[in-house]
C-alpha cells in the first residue's frame, strides 16, 4: 500500500503492484526523451518495491542515455543480483 496526493489534494491509498515496471508512464517519458523524469519515476517505484528487476534495467538505460554511466552500471549490477538467470547467458 502506498499513498498519493490526487489532483484535489486528497491523499489516496493505492495498492502498488508493479511487477512489470515497463509501464505506460515510464515508457511515455522515455519516448519523449524525458530521461530525468523517467529515472525519478523508476526511483519512486523502487522505493516502494526495490526487487523489480525490469525497473532497474530501464533505469539503467535512461541513465546511460544521459551519460551517467557509473550509475547505469550500478543499476545493471542490481538487475543481475536480483535475477541472474533471466539476464546472464
CATH number at residue 57: 1.25.40.10
The model carries a pTM of 0.68
CA atoms within a 13 Å half-sphere pointing along the CA-CB vector of 7 = 0
What is the chain's mean pLDDT, rounded? 76
**Residue 33, in any domain of the structure:** yes
**Residue 75, in any domain of the structure:** yes
How do residues 5-42 score in pLDDT, each as one tens digit? 444 545 444 444 444 444 555 665 666 578 898 899 89
Q: What percent of the chain has pLDDT over 70?
A: 63
C-alpha cell at 55: 525497473
Instruction: Return the pLDDT at 21.
Output: 43
Say how far residue 20 (Cα) sits from the centre of its chain: 10
8 Å CB contact between 45 and 53: no
> Is 75's pLDDT higher than 70?
yes
Instruction: Return the pLDDT at 4.
Output: 42
Domain span at residue 51 reads 21-87
**Residue 34, in any domain of the structure:** yes
Q: Phi and psi at residue 33, in whole multiples of 5°? A: 60, 35
Rg of the chain, C-alpha, whole Å: 14
8 Å CB contact between 42 and 33: no
Amino acid at each position: 500500500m502506498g499513498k498519493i496526493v490526487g489532483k484535489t489534494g486528497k491523499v489516496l491509498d493505492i495498492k502498488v503492484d508493479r511487477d512489470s515496471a515497463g509501464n505506460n508512464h515510464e515508457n511515455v517519458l522515455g519516448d519523449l526523451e524525458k530521461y530525468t523524469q523517467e529515472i525519478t519515476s523508476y526511483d519512486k517505484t523502487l522505493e516502494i518495491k526495490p526487487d523489480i528487476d525490469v525497473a532497474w534495467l530501464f533505469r539503467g538505460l535512461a541513465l546511460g542515455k544521459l551519460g551517467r554511466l557509473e550509475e547505469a552500471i550500478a543499476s545493471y549490477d542490481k538487475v543481475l543480483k536480483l535475477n541472474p538467470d533471466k539476464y546472464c547467458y
